[in-house]
Chain A
């Protein structure tokens, strides 16, 4: 199925071998071609400014710099909108369910596509999840992972970051989390993402992402243009709101790819709070303890919808 919205710039300017995670050179002409195909004039304009090597491939060090700066600005957005608190709110009941269903310790929370690892670092600094929790961030981008590790070390935080496929870790996750990642997976890629959850031994997941709404693109545009300096961050941030997945799309992908999970959504239909609840979450637990899901999240009952 064709993605009518087209990609974000950050989807195009880095490429990795999915098996070895080796970085593959990216030709600028290919990036511009993909953006032109999507009739993305703004994105095309920004990508034209990226410097290349003599062979026409993008300068990887410059790309890494752009991504680090953009992720720092993204972290600011997450700070402003208290996404760390939202994740804690959703993760704490999930971890109680997991504690009750397995004797394995530590319980490993893996942040897939962690970027600079802000959410895990915030959770580690907050310290409320418990000493039996191990926080691991995984991302393909080695530069972001190294930056996340440096930031965690500066704050002396108990969390670690690895350049790896989150589903191929030697010590697998008990719970997968992500923030602002799901909308990067389109069509069957989204289904495959949840199929990976299904194949893994993970007992649950919490994924937070932008909630689509008629006013989200305008609000996102104003916020990003006003607050961000990096052109890529301005465009990708705005475009994320445009192409954010609806809850029904996410739940459909989970039903198809990860049928072994019972699911719920948070803030998918916030009613009069639509202007202020700009994020939504989809969460899932293995069906063996699905009956415990409503009770575990009773304190969020007014915002939670049990899906299946």
Chain B
């Protein structure tokens, strides 16, 4: 259960950050704290739906397996691999956040340029790599199905969040174009 919980926390953290990224660069007003909070909460809510959906699929596979204990152990093993890979990535980002919020302006720039930019670009590869490694390690059909579902869900999550803010800029033009 610890592995499942750790995985859920990692997924929700990623979803919250997706919410921030989706909203960033779309709103021109100066005080954006309520805007960003709303965006992150909304993404977290979507993340909960995602986690619950995958949890139910896992429960269904385990419950219908000939040996439920062995099936659960296989999922936990695969989850451990994913948590290890995602955990390293998440730890690096959390450490960077420590520097980002330090009261030294130069640290903020440094983390932005050296960590957040490259790590944002790396996110899809980390998700794909982590889940494929988990699938290959488990060598199990049920894990493969859940893993493929998770890859699809997580790799499209940012795009789906981004679309919420696609037309936000239009209020700034009197006669907004469609393009």
B residues less than 8 Å from A51 (CB atoms): 179
A61 to B109, CA, bound (A): 35
A187 to B176, CA, bound (A): 36
Chain A CB within 8 A of B27 CB = yes
Contact B109 A157 (CB under 8 A): no
Chain B CB within 8 A of A151 CB = yes
Q: Which of A96-104, A191-199, A217-225, A250-258 lies on the face that meets chain B?
A: A217-225
Chain A CB within 8 A of B1 CB = no
Q: Interface size bucket, A side?
A: 35 or more
Give the secondary structure class of A's interface.
helix
Contact B24 A125 (CB under 8 A): no
Contact with A along B72-116 (1 / 0, CB 8 A): 000000000000000000000000000000000111111011101
Chain B CB within 8 A of A236 CB = no
Shortest A111–chain B CB gap in Å is 15
Chain A CB within 8 A of B67 CB = no
Residue of A nearest to B118 (CB): A222
Contact A81 B112 (CB under 8 A): yes
Q: Which of B28-36, B43-51, B149-157 lies on the face that meets chain A?
A: B28-36
B residues less than 8 Å from A228 (CB atoms): 25
Chain A CB within 8 A of B64 CB = no
Contact A76 B24 (CB under 8 A): yes
A229 in complex: contacting residue of B31, B108, B162, CB < 8 Å: B162
Contact with A along B1-38 (1 / 0, CB 8 A): 00000000000000000000000111111110000000
Chain A CB within 8 A of B56 CB = no
Chain B CB within 8 A of A15 CB = no
A residues less than 8 Å from B30 (CB atoms): 121-122, 125, 155, 157
Contact B120 A72 (CB under 8 A): no
B residues less than 8 Å from A125 (CB atoms): 30-31
Contact B25 A223 (CB under 8 A): no
Contact B109 A155 (CB under 8 A): no
Contact with B along A183-208 (1 / 0, CB 8 A): 00000000000000000000000000
Contact A143 B173 (CB under 8 A): yes
Chain B CB within 8 A of A275 CB = yes
Chain B CB within 8 A of A296 CB = no
Chain B CB within 8 A of A150 CB = yes
Contact A72 B25 (CB under 8 A): yes
Chain B CB within 8 A of A39 CB = no
A residues less than 8 Å from B121 (CB atoms): 222, 225-226
Shortest B109–chain A CB gap in Å is 4
Contact B25 A61 (CB under 8 A): no
Chain B CB within 8 A of A105 CB = no
Chain B CB within 8 A of A246 CB = no
Contact B173 A227 (CB under 8 A): no
Shortest A137–chain B CB gap in Å is 13
Q: Which of A21-29, A62-70, A168-176, A283-291 lies on the face that meets chain B?
A: A62-70
A121 to B31, CA, bound (A): 11
Chain B CB within 8 A of A80 CB = yes
Shortest B79–chain A CB gap in Å is 29
A222 in complex: contacting residue of B24, B109, B117, B179, CB < 8 Å: B117
B residues less than 8 Å from A157 (CB atoms): 30
Contact B113 A223 (CB under 8 A): yes
Contact A146 B29 (CB under 8 A): no
Chain B CB within 8 A of A154 CB = yes
Chain B CB within 8 A of A278 CB = yes
Closest 8 pairs (CB-CB, A-B): A147-B172, A61-B177, A76-B25, A73-B25, A276-B106, A62-B179, A226-B117, A226-B120
Provide 15 A-B residue pairs closer than 8 Å at the C-beta atoms, listed in order of the A residue: A65-B169, A65-B177, A68-B169, A68-B173, A73-B25, A143-B173, A147-B173, A150-B172, A222-B113, A225-B121, A226-B116, A226-B118, A226-B121, A273-B106, A277-B106
Given A72-B25, A116-B28, A227-B117: 18 more A-B contacts, CB < 8 Å = A59-B177, A61-B177, A80-B109, A80-B112, A85-B105, A122-B30, A146-B174, A151-B29, A155-B31, A157-B30, A219-B113, A225-B121, A226-B117, A227-B25, A229-B25, A276-B106, A276-B107, A278-B109
